[in-house]
Amino acid sequence: MDGQSKAVGDSKSVRHASPLLFVLAAAVLWSTGGLFIKWVTLSGLELSFGRSLLAAITVAIFTRREGFGLNLVTGLASVLYAALLLLFVLATKETTAANAIFLQYTAPVYLLIFEPLFYKEKFRSRDLIVVIFCVAGMSLFFVGKLRPQDVTGNFLALGSGLCFACYFLLLRHAKARAVNRASSVIYGNLLLVIIAAPAALKVLPHISKADAVGIVYLGVVQIGIAYTLFTVAMARGVRSLDAGIVGYVEPVLNPIWVFLAIGERPASWAILGGAIIVVAVVCHMLREARRGKQRVDLA
pLDDT of 6 above 70:
no
- pLDDT above 90 covers a percentage of the chain that reads 21
Q: What is the pLDDT of residues 122-143, one digit of tens each?
A: 777 777 888 888 888 888 877 7
CB atoms under 10 Å from CB of 265, counted, come to 10
Long-range contacts from 173-177, C-beta under 8 angstroms, 24+ separation: 173/73, 175/71, 175/72, 175/73, 175/74, 176/73, 176/74, 176/77, 177/235
DSSP code per residue over 211-257 = HHHHHHIIIIIIIIIHHHHHHHHHHTT--HHHHHHHTTHHHHHHHHH
First to last CA, the chain: 15
- Assess contact for 69 and 179: CB atoms under 8 A: yes
Q: What is the pLDDT of residues 37-47, one digit of tens each?
A: 778 888 878 88
- CA of 20: how far to CAs of 170, 192, 276, in Å? 18, 28, 19
DSSP state of 42: S
CB atoms under 10 Å from CB of 239, counted, come to 20
Which amino acid, one-letter code, is at 119? Y
Sign for the CA dihedral angle at 143, 85, 32, 282 comes to: positive
pLDDT of 34 above 60:
yes
Mean pLDDT of the 266-271 span: 76
Planar angle of CA 254, 260, 261, nearest 5 degrees: 90
pLDDT of 152 above 80:
yes
pLDDT of 80 above 50:
yes
pLDDT of 247 above 60:
yes
Least confident of 104-108, 144-148, 288-292: 144-148
Nearest Cα to Cα of residue 74 among 238, 231, 250: 231
Cα dihedral: 64, 107, 54, 89 (round 10): 160
Nearest Cα to Cα of residue 238 among 13, 23, 63: 23
Residue 11's pLDDT band (cuts 50, 70, 90) = very low
Output phi, psi for 105, to 5 deg.
Answer: -85, 25
CB atoms under 10 Å from CB of 293, counted, come to 17
Q: What is the pLDDT of residues 219-240, one digit of tens each?
A: 999 999 998 888 788 778 787 7
Please count the CA atoms within 13 angstroms of the CA of 286 that sit on its side-chain side. 6
The span from the CA of 68 to the CA of 77, in Å, is 14
Planar angle of CA 277, 250, 195, nearest 5 degrees: 145
Q: What is the pLDDT of residues 155-166, one digit of tens each?
A: 888 899 999 899
Phi-psi map region of 186: left, alpha, beta (phi>0 left; psi -120 to 50 alpha)? alpha
Locate all alpha helices (DSSP H) within the chain, ordered by sequence. Answer: 3-30, 33-39, 44-62, 72-94, 97-104, 107-118, 125-140, 151-171, 183-200, 209-216, 226-235, 240-246, 249-262, 268-298
Residue 58's pLDDT is what?
93
Residue 16's pLDDT band (cuts 50, 70, 90) = very low
